[in-house]
Structure 1
Amino acid sequence: MSQDSFLQKKNQILSQIETTLGNVPDISPKGSIDELCVPIMNLINSHNDMVTTSSCSGRVSVFLEGVKVKDEGSSSKIGGKGDGGHWLFVEHDKTKIQDWHKDKFQYGQVPTTSDLSTRYILFKFEPLILHVKCRNYETASALYTTAMGCGFRESGIGINNIVAIRISIKLDIPIGYYNQENDTPIAFVTEEYLQMITQLSLDRFEENERRLNMLYEAISKMQVQAPKDSEQQETKEQRRERKRKEGLAKQQQKQAQIEQIEATEQKTTE
């Protein structure tokens, strides 16, 4: 008997999650699952037809752009990570971001010239994101509707019934640039401004957590409409057998129609 392909994939993912929770790093830049995500992941993964594939509870990061122009006629993506782009700071714990900027920068002016050679420093707040693989479209649709109802307006359903749960409370602010001559990050905003946007991020962390709690409660009460037919729940062998029987039934129906027409024509000639 063929094994359930969704269940096989789910078990594989859950095994990886269990390993990561056991302090073995995963492939994410952080290398571990955010503690704030664990309860909702456990809730989702307890559902027969859902499994989490990736998660981030929200974070503040300060990112230095990579080199955007390497030589004449070639360039890399603006804001991209490649060609020297890297984090100057990244933190998922809201209690550890208050003084992140201390001793990080020299303070100066906006560069007098700005072109593709300028490598900007970007302050980012990125909110919660969850990716959930669902067994069928009915489950994906129910989860998507539930997330939208909790204010996760950037959510969507992708291929293979994977639901991305997202919210649009991000920040993405240029705060400085990289001085290549003396290998120094320069902030062209004041320290007071950095304190202000840090507070904006803390406010967003609070809202992010409030929405996450709403989502947890909503998913725990979520009702999934039954599939319109059983095909999405079938094994390959079951589907093949059903198709065979449907084909035989159609042939028999067609043969019966032909016999009925012949009988009618015979009565007419008589």
Structure 2
Amino acid sequence: MKISMDSFDLHKAQCLSRKDASKIGCIDRSIIEHVKLINSHSDYYTTSSCGGRIVLFAKDDGSRKCDGRWLYVTHGKASPAAIRKALSSPQKELVWFRQEAFILHVAARDLAAAKNLLAIARQAGLKHSGIFSLQSRIILEIEGNEHMDVPIKKGGKLIAPEAYITELVRIANRKMDNNMERLNTLLKYLKEL
């Protein structure tokens, strides 16, 4: 599949000229160099990105992700004290402690370019990456391997002891370190693109 050059270049210009629509309003510091490198290449542009994060997310059981709300978010390391403080406010919903890996959504000019970038992601050890849209645009998802998703509070009550919360934070912070190492490896390969 090949998208016309004019169409791809037009979409790229439009996408890159838009105001950042993320909740924080800017590209995460840990991934900005990756985004700039990808966007500087004539065959690619990023449509969204996140450098990885640790969050507390509240949502009703069975509801969709978009129906929930963030109680806490950091794109760096978390502290047990900050997590406990966020958990101290009353919530009736199910609260999840999550560590999410970095993610990049990248539009590619054509399937050959998409396969080339996917090969680079795989070289960097990013096994959860793939080409997932082949209709009007070819989109790649490049995603880190580090994830953690644990229910921590339900019906307004903690379902884990304090020591467990401290251990979750320690594990999530270690996963964020691994996330940064993988981002650095990806950056090395992107520079050869």
Task: Give the TM-score range, shorter chain.
Answer: 0.7 to 0.9
What CA deviation, in whole Å up to 9, does each residue of 1:106-137 have, x standing for no partner? 6xxxxxxxxxxx83211000000001101011
Alpha-carbon distance in structure 1 between the residues aligned to 2:191 and 2:64:
38
Q: Does 1:196 align with 2:137?
A: no
Matched with 1:102 is 84
* CA RMSD across the alignment: 2.0
The answer to which structure, 1 or 2, has the higher relative contact order (CA under 8 A, 6+ apart) is 2
Alpha-carbon distance between aligned partners in 2 of 1:191 and 1:129, rounded to the nearest angstrom: 31
Deviation at 1:3, TM superposition (A): 7.3
1:92 aligned residue: 75
- Give TM-score, length-normalised by structure 1: 0.63
Seq. identity, %: 32
Letter in 2 for 1:139: A
- Cα distance between partner residues in 2 of 1:102 and 1:198: 10
Query: How far apart are 1:193 and its partner, in Å?
Result: 1.0
Distance 1:91 1:178 in 2: 24
Tell me the distance in 1 between the aligned counterparts of 2:7 and 2:66: 35
CA deviation vs aligned residue, 1:119-170 (integer Å, no higher than 9, x gap): 3211000000001101011110010111012111111102222110012320
Residue 65 of structure 2 is aligned to residue 80 of structure 1: yes
Equivalent pairs counted in the alignment come to: 184
Partners in 2 of 1:3 and 1:154 — Cα distance? 29
Distance 1:188 1:86 in 2: 19
Secondary structure, counterpart of 2:81 in structure 1: coil
Which protein is bigger by CA-based radius of gyration? Answer: 1
Q: 1:45 is matched by which residue type in structure 2?
A: N
- Find the aligned partners of 1:101 and 1:3 in 2 and give their Cα distance: 48
* One-letter identity of the residue aligned with 1:87: W
Which of 102, 112, 126 is equivalent to 2:100?
126
User: In the alignment, which residue of structure 1 is the partner of 2:146?
Assistant: 169
* Helix, strand or coil at the partner of 1:88: strand
Unaligned runs of 5+ in 2: none
